[in-house]
Amino acid sequence: MLPYLNLFGRVLPTYSLLGVAGVLLGLLVALARCKRFQLSASDCAYIYVMGGVGAVIGAKLLYLIPLLPQMIADLPLLGQNPSLFFARYLTGGMVFYGGFLGGILGAWLEARYFRLRFSDFFPVLVPTLPLIHALGRVGCFCAGCCYGVEAAEPWGIPFTHTIAAPNGVPLLPVQLYECAAELMIFLFLLWYAPRAASKGGILRAYMLAYAPVRFVLEFFRGDVVRGIYGPLSTSQWISLAVMAAAIVWLVRERRENRS
Q: Tens of pLDDT along 10-54?
A: 887 888 899 999 999 999 999 999 999 999 999 999 999 999 999
pTM: 0.90
CA distance linking residue 234 with residue 105, whole number of Å: 20
Average pLDDT over residues 168-179: 95
For the cut 80, the answer to whether the pLDDT of residue 84 exceeds it is no
CA distance linking residue 14 with residue 12, whole number of Å: 6
Distance CA 143, CA 127 (A): 25
Q: What is the pLDDT of residue 79?
A: 81
Report pLDDT for 216.
Answer: 97
Q: Lowest mean pLDDT of 54-63, 112-121, 161-170, name the range.
A: 161-170
User: Which amino acid makes up residue 205?
Assistant: A
Q: How confident is the model at residue 229 (pLDDT cuts 50, 70, 90)?
A: confident
Which of these ranges, 58-62, 108-112, 159-163, has the smallest mean pLDDT? 159-163
258 has pLDDT over 90: no
Provide the number of structural domains found in the chain.
1
Q: What does the pLDDT read at residue 226?
A: 72
Is the model's pLDDT at 92 over the cut of 70? Answer: no
Neighbours of 200 (CB within 10 A): 16
pLDDT at 85 over 80: no
Q: Which domain holds residue 127?
A: 4-258
Q: Cα separation of 13 and 15, whole Å?
A: 5
Model confidence pLDDT, tens digit, residues 101-156: 999 999 999 999 999 999 999 999 999 999 999 999 999 999 888 899 999 888 99
User: Dihedral through CA 177, CA 179, CA 180, CA 185, nearest 10?
Assistant: 130
| pLDDT over 70 percentage in the chain | 98
Is 233 in contact with 95 (CB distance < 8 Å)? Answer: no
- What pLDDT shows up at residue 75? 83
